[in-house]
Structure 1
Amino acid sequence: MLKQRVITAVVMLLVLLPALFAPMAWPFALLMLAMAGAAAWEWGRLNGASSATAVGMGVVTAAACGVALWAGWVHVGPSVAWWLAFVVWVLGGALALKVGVGSWPNLPRVARWLIGMAAIWTAWLALSSAKAAGINFLLSIFCLVWVADIAAYFGGKTFGRRKLAPAISPGKSWEGVWSGMVGVQALAWAWIWADQHWQLPSLDSASLFTVLLERLGAPGLVLALVFLSAMSVVGDLVESLVKRSAGAKDSSNLLPGHGGVLDRVDALLPVFPIAMALSTLGNF
């Protein structure tokens, strides 16, 4: 299993890195478009869609991403999309976690399909727009999610006592969540120091952390990071809820040793559009 995970990870990096460091935005956008289509296909399968319908959902989602790419929204992503995603993820995510695993299937299947496709499309647009803003900006958001997850894992293993959502994800604890938040705070201030002393913005762009510090000040940055860390947990829990409702361990087997695309991007789905929304605050 470990060998399979490593091989898959290496292959993914070999595909991702050239697109990530390409001077133009479209190679990364196209790669993410393919992943969005795969994620929508997985979402359909987890939510009672037939094989043909699930494929259709993937095609429609990828096509919607392609239309946005053709329209130039990657370079000037509509801020209304970020704020709409902000509201939907906060209110909808809280409601989904409150009603629990048993109530999710009571929502009409078509409604569940559309919710997932909309979330995936908005996350794709936010990812692509972040890449257009600059690699430093994009990577800072990726690393925020990764560090929140890693710090939460080790913090939960070491200090975990109180379960966060035992019916949805038995392994998660409140101590893990707090550890993730502490890890993100440390990452952000270290990255800001690097932005200032290594002059990273002059090479490419400012990081999300520097942008938020400039627009919200230090107290606002701290609160924004706590919120983004919490939303990464919400994204993870929502996908876990859907999988448990479907009786599935992984979203698919597309990534051998890693599960499916949704298993790898669940925490990114709310964080990217919300990060983009917060980064526009100074523009109002």
Structure 2
Amino acid sequence: MNKTQLPKKVGKLLFSINSQCILAECALWNEFEQVIYWVDIIGAKIQRYCPRTHGVETFDMPYRIGCFSFTPIKNQIIAAFDIGIARYNLVTEQLEWLAQPEKNIKTNRFNDGRTDRQGRFWAGTMNESVAADDDSNLNNIVLGNLYCIDANKQCDAKVVNVSISNGLCWSKDGKTLYHADSPKRTISAYDFDTRTTQLSNKRVFATTQGHRFPDGSIVDSEDYLWSAHWGASQVVRYNPKGKIDLVVDMPVSQPSSVAIGGPQMDWLIVTTAKHSLAPERLMIEPQSGNIFIYQLHGIEGVAEPVCVI
């Protein structure tokens, strides 16, 4: 990668948020509220940052939370908690379960997910005994699945036997679904029927090597895919053919998810984690678990869909 290309598209670090999450994930920009949201899975909380006030609010969750999406109702989200998918009100704390397809599989929990362009919620599960950096011991364990829940509360598995479900996002037109299985170091692409949710024509979009694992992803206004590379201290932007366009080097080793937002929709927002890092490693990278915001040049984000189920 020609490093001289980087400043043309990704500028300086604007600021970081000293959240010190154990496992921050699911970065989202709320266009209506003009704030940044993210979750701490292990800490069982949602946090949001307001650029106008520089304040951070914390919402304690009733269960560990892997991901969530906004809904049309104020303060209500749809969330993939560890044991199922539910509507949840951040203020009243009212919870309504919608689906718990793996409730009886004690080793599994929900992880990454998001809403498709038509307003349906998707979330994937993982077996917690699977380490992100180990794909050698996947036999004789119950693997996860990627689920879709629709307006009729019908919850179906769309991709099965997933080690760690990550990197879910859609192309701008919604007709290509991207999904990563982190330990397998693979981002797959599928043709997506926007009406029926049927997936077809699975192919390899991109692969990683060594100690770098594709985690959270997002698609920008040019239909390029951004992927946080856990273990590699990098966020990578791929063109629509899966070729690397640019690399953003980070001061921490475990970037976990990405979003594009901000008042002009030109901030690259990256969550990170300190989960599983040894004390001596944390001394080297004390900003692990913080949220990083970079300035983009000539690149904009796509508004996050609202879940309508």
Could you say which TM-score interval applies, normalised by the shorter chain? Answer: under 0.3
TM-score normalized by the length of structure 1: 0.26
Which structure: greater helix fraction?
1
TM-score normalized by the length of structure 2: 0.25
Bigger relative contact order, structure 1 or 2, given CA contacts below 8 A and separation 6+? 1
Which structure: greater strand fraction?
2
